[in-house]
Amino acid sequence: MFNIVKGTHDVILNEATKYTYVENLLERVAETYGFKEFRTPIMEYSELFLRSTGESSDIVRKEMYTFQDKGDRSITLRPEITAGTIRSMVNEKLFANQDYPIKAYYVGPNFRYERPQQGRYRQFNQFGIECVGVTSPFRDIEAIMLGYNALKLLGFKNITLQINSLGDKQTREDYQKALREYYSKYVDEMCDDCKERFNINILRILDCKVEHDIEINKNSPKIEDYYSGEARRDFEIIKDFLTDNGIPFEINSNLVRGLDYYSGVVFEYRYTSSQGKDYGALGGGGHYNNLVKEIGGPDIEGVGFAFGIERLVKLMEDDSLFNNEEETIDLYIMPIGMQNQKICFELATFLRNNGYSVDICLENKAIGPMFKKAERRNALYAILIGDDEAKNKTLNLKNLTSQEQITVKFDDLLTILDDMFGECEDEHDHHHE
């Protein structure tokens, strides 16, 4: 027996079907907004994350899976996918013809050495988008709406969208100065993490979850008092537009996000299940001013966000947002006698090539046990072929719901099946033409 690596989890059987459903839906939504898929490597040079995710982020300081490869290069299993996506745009010269924006979406695993708990894994999957070459706050709005609408299409109701603006460089410099002044009076009584944050990334003190620190945070300087004219205007445009489009949001001036590259608007999608379960944010992201340049691209801005697939699936399970129909198979083929295996096998291949899901009994079994198997596989129809049928090129087709059985010529089978399955097309997702 081998244990699974701590903080990882198997996604198999029905669970895997749910992951695929969620991922496919998100991908389709991204496509409708004009985003294209990017598949970048899981391994990147460690330097990429030091530069982008940021040396003061928890991710880079404590959570990366970093190792020297046999060529003595420092490699990191990606803790997030934004950096690699932008790197690919730079390396592949997508910025060369300045046809902006470049719109990318991605799905895949990330690795962070975090303390495992509900909704928090060491290997987890994200779906995300990046829109690069952003010149107006409307791109930020488009990204926020994409995420919001995708969650609605997955079936979530009452999503809480929290937004904040981190302003521009000047805003943050002035604000950090004010925070330093304020917290210098309290830092000695704050938690160890906050003591560290005070020196490394003071903004992160604002989202500390320790009770005593939350109290101290209540009276801290507020970022909105430090916005420049432009930062304030952009944030106003975004808020107005969300209101006009019926997207409810809350302003959370303590929302700073864990990665260093954000500037301008940042946002998170939150959801509490009907049983009151909350596994942390479903997803989040924001606008970035300097990331593209930092990774070697031109001086252009971008916006992006990522959802955690594990959390989406867990909450959808908790709130029964998956359609719980049992998985069925279209046809179960039963050879009566080993001598009829070959013809049954050929028929299975023919039907599979025509889009039907088919299983076939490949052992020598009596009819009773074969029906048992068909039932356990949730087959909709059974096909029985014995010696007479094989000789006459016919077969017995049995509807396993109504128990009706008809005899059908080989040549007519496809037309008959297409008719029968065509009739219930809406109820079950059969893609055969």
Q: Please tell me the distance from the alpha carbon of residue 101 to that of residue 351, in angstroms, as a whole number.
A: 45
Nearer of residues 142 and 310 to ligand AMP, judged by Cβ: 310
Nearer of residues 127 and 332 to ligand AMP, judged by Cβ: 127
Q: Give buried/exposed letters for 69-102 (b at 16+ CB in 10 A, else e).
A: eeeeeeebbbbbbbbbbbbbbbeeebbeeeebbb
For the record, the structure tokens of 257 come out as: 């996000």
Residue 270 lies near ligand AMP (rule: CB under 6 A): no
Give the closest residue to 289 by CA, choosing from 167, 121, 149: 167
- Near ligand AMP in 48-107, by CB under 6 A: 80
Nearer of residues 26 and 281 to ligand AMP, judged by Cβ: 281
Q: Which stretch binds ligand AMP (CB under 6 A): 164-172, 179-187, 301-309, 408-416?
A: 301-309
Q: Give buried/exposed letters for 227-258 (b at 16+ CB in 10 A, else e).
A: beeebeebbebbbebbeeeebebeebebbbbb
Q: Binder to ligand AMP among 109, 155, 221, 258 (CB under 6 A)?
A: 258
Q: Binder to ligand AMP among 292, 308, 380, 382 (CB under 6 A)?
A: 308
Residue 174 lies near ligand AMP (rule: CB under 6 A): no
Nearer of residues 119 and 386 to ligand AMP, judged by Cβ: 119
Residue 167 lies near ligand AMP (rule: CB under 6 A): no
Q: Minimum distance between the CB of residue 401 and ligand AMP, rounded to whole angstroms?
A: 41
Q: Minimum distance between the CB of residue 282 and ligand AMP, rounded to whole angstroms?
A: 5
Q: Please tell me the distance from the alpha carbon of residue 30 to that of residue 38, in angstroms, as a whole number.
A: 12
Q: Which stretch binds ligand AMP (CB under 6 A): 247-255, 280-288, 365-373, 378-386?
A: 280-288
Q: Binder to ligand AMP among 101, 147, 283, 335 (CB under 6 A)?
A: 283
Q: Minimum distance between the CB of residue 309 and ligand AMP, rounded to whole angstroms?
A: 8
Alpha helices (H) in 92-159, listed in sequence order:
137-154
Q: Minimum distance between the CB of residue 35 and ligand AMP, rounded to whole angstroms?
A: 17
Nearer of residues 116 and 337 to ligand AMP, judged by Cβ: 116
Q: Please tell me the distance from the alpha carbon of residue 121 to that of residue 23, in angstroms, as a whole number.
A: 18
Nearer of residues 124 and 183 to ligand AMP, judged by Cβ: 124
For the record, the structure tokens of 2 come out as: 């081998």
Residue 213 lies near ligand AMP (rule: CB under 6 A): no
Q: Minimum distance between the CB of residue 283 and ligand AMP, rounded to whole angstroms?
A: 5
Which residue type occupies 44? E
Q: Give the residue at shortest CB distance from ligand AMP.
A: 308
Distance between the two ends of the chain, CA-based, in angstroms? 46
Residue 306 lies near ligand AMP (rule: CB under 6 A): yes
Give the closest residue to 154 by CA, choosing from 23, 269, 267, 280: 23
Cis peptide leading into residue 101 (ω within 30°): yes
Give the closest residue to 332 by CA, choosing from 361, 353, 301, 312: 361
Tell me, rounded to whole angstroms, the distance of Cα 50 from its chain centroid.
Answer: 24
- Near ligand AMP in 410-429, by CB under 6 A: none
The interface mask with ligand AMP, positions 117-146, x = CB under 6 A, is --xxx--x-x--------------------
Q: Binder to ligand AMP among 213, 234, 310, 389 (CB under 6 A)?
A: 310
For the record, the structure tokens of 307 come out as: 């959802």
Q: What strands, in cross-sheet order, belong to the sheet with 283-288?
A: 36-37, 102-111, 123-134, 301-308, 283-288, 265-270, 160-165, 250-251
Size of the site for ligand AMP (CB under 6 A): 18
CB 82 within 8 A of CB 291: yes
Tell me, rounded to whole angstroms, the distance of Cα 172 from its chain centroid.
Answer: 31
Q: Report which secondary-structure segment, H or E, holds 15.
A: helix 13-32
Nearer of residues 259 and 413 to ligand AMP, judged by Cβ: 259
The residue to which tokens 């356990």 are assigned: 376
Nearer of residues 111 and 186 to ligand AMP, judged by Cβ: 111
Q: Which residues bind ligand AMP (CB under 6 A)?
A: 80, 112, 114, 119-121, 124, 126, 258, 281-284, 306-308, 310-311
